[in-house]
Structure 1
Amino acid sequence: MDNALSRVNKRLNDRRFAAADNAHGLSSADTVFHYQVVEEVITGTYQGGQIQTGHLIGRVTGPDTIELLYHCLTTEGEMLAGWSRGIVGADQTGRTTLTFEWGWLSGASGGGVSSYIELAD
């Protein structure tokens, strides 16, 4: 798992992402996710678009897989919480990509699949 940890850490730690495709979720291209990774522990914040503020916590589960729990407060004052399982990859230009299967645990129902792209510095 050490090699997996270093690959995920390199691709996620101190990097920012926005939604590329999230048809059934609240995050959009205006929502910025900022990840931190220490060993197998993933933490992060997100805000923008319909999200006033949000936090996430998770772990590295394999060479290119992660799982997260997240919660947020929307601009409409709703409190929501959910889960996701993701794949960490890269596009043709080398930018990190994230693809998640996700669902709501509290405050909403349903779920879906979404993808995110690393933002340029």
Structure 2
Amino acid sequence: MTPTFPQLGERLHNRRFAVTNNTHGLSGAGTVFHYLVEGDAISSTYKGGRIRLGMQVGRVTGVDTIELLFHCLTLDGELLSGWSRGKVGVDQTGRTILSFVWGWLSGAVGGGESSCVEVVENKRHA
């Protein structure tokens, strides 16, 4: 399937993102998301910080927007799930940034806003 919004897929596919801000959420410093994109379908795994294991599934909804459902198991053994709507952008250094509004569906109440930035690995050439 050909992506409806190929630029967005290229910004996310097989890339890792670190949390930079998360109000009222469990992911934070040390949590890393790894996204995969196939057409307009998005999936990811995440872990780190207070998250033992997490997964997301979602879809591209516009040229710079996505929506996701997520679930996770915390280090304390809590099983939680929720939804998020995100916007994909680029910072001044060219790294992809993600900004979300999200809410809990099960295991907790409330919601918040979060943001992530692409983790760029330094490649050294000998």
Q: Is the pair's TM-score, using the shorter chain for normalization, greater than 0.5? A: yes
In structure 2, what residue type is equivalent to 1:80? Answer: L
Q: Normalization by structure 1: what TM-score?
A: 0.96
CA contact (8 A) 2:53 2:74 kept: yes
Q: CA offset at residue 5 of structure 1?
A: 1.8
Distance 2:43 2:62 in 1: 17
Identify if the C-alpha distance between structure 1 residues 3 and 58 changes in structure 2 by more than 3 Å, giving closer, same or farther.
Answer: closer
Task: Report the 3-state secondary structure (helix = DSSP H, G, I; strand = E; otherwise coil) of the residue aligned with 2:92.
Answer: coil
Gaps of 5+ in 2: 122-126
Cα RMSD for the two superposed structures: 1.1
**Does 1:83 pair with 2:83?**
yes
Which residue in 2 is equivalent to 1:33?
33
Gaps of 5+ in 1: none
Which residue in 1 is equivalent to 2:67?
67
Which residue in 2 is equivalent to 1:51?
51
Q: Give 1:109-120 correspondences, 5 Å limit.
A: 109-120=109-120
Identify if the C-alpha distance between structure 1 residues 55 and 3 changes in structure 2 by more than 3 Å, giving closer, same or farther.
Answer: closer
Q: CA offset at residue 3 of structure 1?
A: 7.4
Which residue in 1 is equivalent to 2:124?
none
**Percent of matched pairs sharing the same residue:** 59
Which 4+ residue blocks in structure 1 deviate beyond 3 angstroms? none
Q: Considering only CA atoms, is the larger Rg found in Structure 1 or Structure 2?
A: 2
CA contact (8 A) 1:3 1:63 kept: no
